[in-house]
A and B are shown apart, each in its own frame.
Chain A
């Protein structure tokens, strides 16, 4: 990925007639214009709109009655216990999901890299849940975990662990961990693919050297392979962080933030405030907090992007 460094050389001999600057724009606009137009209209403007609305007390109905109230919505956040727990849940969700996805992906990629028979089959299966809608997965697991129909409780009964049966998503202590695990289970495969491609790129002779020195396979992995994967781990953790921050559907489908806000995250609380309570300003302020966290990730990602390019 040295594309960014080729910039200068591309500029040097990419267009032979750099001097004819004025004639370039008419040729450039048909290429960049359409995409930028849609991007600005339907992504950037809603983004700016979210920030703008967070500074108003709009009820969401009358476009003529949007009053600017400054940071009132943000000071109100400080007195909202549900917001505080939603923020906390979001941070916990991201932290735990990132660690589990990274560790799970690394372990799976190392196992698959052993090139045992059927390895590609396992790889294919691990990526499968990613392509299925979170709504489908949420509904299936709602059924599986339901105390009435349910798969899990009868299964626990059958293997003699019946006393572990429970209400699962109805239990405030278990609901959030279950949703986090489900998210990890669904998405670790993506990061496994990234690790696998990095593993393939590690030169063979490094491991060779370690083996000549009498290192076991496990020592080789720990001392040679994993340190070689450091920058990949950085990318994986960042992408997993950005991705985990997007949690909404799983929570919405499985618990709607309940029981008693035990699984409330920023996006579900913002949605609730804006669309159920019609407090558009306040709901937007919650979304801005979410955006702020996303931008921290984005900033780090960009730094990384530049560094990798060098």
Chain B
């Protein structure tokens, strides 16, 4: 590895102390992150009484009672379904819309293209909560308040990131490939579906993973646009549990674990796409 190539000075006492110090610091930060997560997970299999007796104690048995409460009596299955439906439809839609637009920006040249592209990036910079007031009234004009469509349509406007990332990708594709396809008589649609999309699969993965996190975790729009408990998405439901379950700590921990578990799992599986997405969004793509 490059460590050898670096030709580091021989380990001295100072170097050893620095490394030990670094490890201590890095571990402290890591523990501050891992402990709350692990605590939440293991508390979710403790009974309420066990939590009240000692908040730190490890569970003595693998007890899924809290999860059973959550999924049997509670509305968790409905909220989970809402979150899944809204997230899947929105994310697939965002990917399709932004891939199409990105190709338009990359493959065509027209007057004002640069300005239109910059205009499409405004969405990256706007704090979404600044739009909830008029967004709410706008949606109620179409009688969409309380419907999942109010959320889905709003998220379909979040194309800025995908357009930025995919346009950069499409522009980096060697012009010769497209040129050759055009000489063979392929039209833009064919070039897009047969050549560009297959090439862009990793970048599209990046767009999908990041938007999944954003949509899944979004709280503001469900808070404002959803008016009945059977349309709640998970983040909104969690907050209701906080006030409604009150002192039922065990069940609440289970609900939190479900809410955090899905994006954590996606992150662990798709870490590469996630990291690439962060970098692509920071203009360094």
Contacts and interface: CB of A to CB of B under 8 A. Distances in A.
Q: What is the predominant secondary structure among interface residues of chain A facing chain B?
A: helix
B23 to A, nearest CB: 7
B127 A43 contact: no
Nearest to A198: B284
Interface residues of A, number: 111
Interface string B74-118: 000000000000000000000011101101111111100010101
B17 interface: no
A68 interface: no
A33 to B, nearest CB: 8
B138 A45 contact: yes
Nearest to A141: B36
A133 B263 contact: yes
Contact of A190 (B118, B134, B264, B278): B278
Contacts of B22: 111, 114, 116
Interface string B37-74: 10110000000000110011000000000000000000
Nearest to A12: B109
Contacts of A116: 19, 22-23
A224 interface: no
Interface centre among B2, B138, B260 (most CB of A within 10 A): B260
Given A127-B267, A287-B130, A295 B219 contact: no
A62 to B, nearest CB: 11
Given A126-B29, A135-B235, A50 B284 contact: no
A274 B220 CA distance: 14
Contacts of B30: 122, 125-126
Contacts of A283: 133
B239 A3 contact: no
A10 B109 contact: yes
Interface string A266-310: 010011001100001001100110110011011001101100100
A80 interface: no
A52 B238 contact: no
Interface string B222-240: 0110000000001110110
23 contacts: A3-B167, A14-B107, A27-B108, A34-B96, A35-B101, A35-B159, A38-B153, A38-B159, A132-B264, A135-B235, A136-B256, A136-B260, A139-B238, A149-B52, A151-B39, A194-B284, A204-B2, A208-B7, A246-B127, A252-B219, A252-B223, A271-B132, A287-B132
Given A274-B133, A308-B283, 4 more contacts: A3-B168, A14-B107, A27-B108, A42-B156
